[in-house]
């Protein structure tokens, strides 16, 4: 089995901040897969081995997204620095 790319969830949040656009679950997943690849697994300070879908749900549950009308974004201040 090939080794999977491992990317910290902060990289996804930084991508969101840099894009300066609002997302839905589906559009964020599409951008994640385009940028990081479908085989990438994500980790955070408290979770490991997540798919793009699982990471999006995790970040949402952790309050990392800011509602923006029909979608959501994030803020640089939502990215922890530890």
User: Is pTM beyond 0.85 here?
Assistant: yes
pLDDT in tens, 14-40: 999 999 899 999 999 999 999 999 999
pLDDT bracket for residue 79 (50, 70, 90): confident
Q: Mean pLDDT score of the chain, rounded to an integer?
A: 92
Confidence check: pLDDT of 46 > 70: yes
Closest CA to 19 of 81, 57, 68: 68
pLDDT at 35: 97
* Residue 81, beta-bridge partner list: none
Class of residue 2 by CB neighbours under 10 A (exposed 0-12, middle 13-18, buried 19+): exposed
* Contact indicator for 31, 24 with CB cutoff of 8 Å: no
């Amino acid at each position: 089995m090939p080794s999977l790319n491992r990317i910290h969830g902060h990289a996804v949040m930084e991508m969101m901040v840099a894009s300066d656009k609002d997302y839905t679950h589906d559009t964020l997943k599409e951008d994640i897969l385009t940028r990081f690849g479908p085989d990438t697994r994500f980790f955070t300070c408290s979770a490991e081995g997540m798919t793009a879908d699982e990471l999006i749900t995790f970040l949402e549950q952790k309050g990392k997204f800011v509602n923006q009308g029909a979608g959501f974004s994030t803020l640089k201040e939502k990215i922890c620095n530890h």
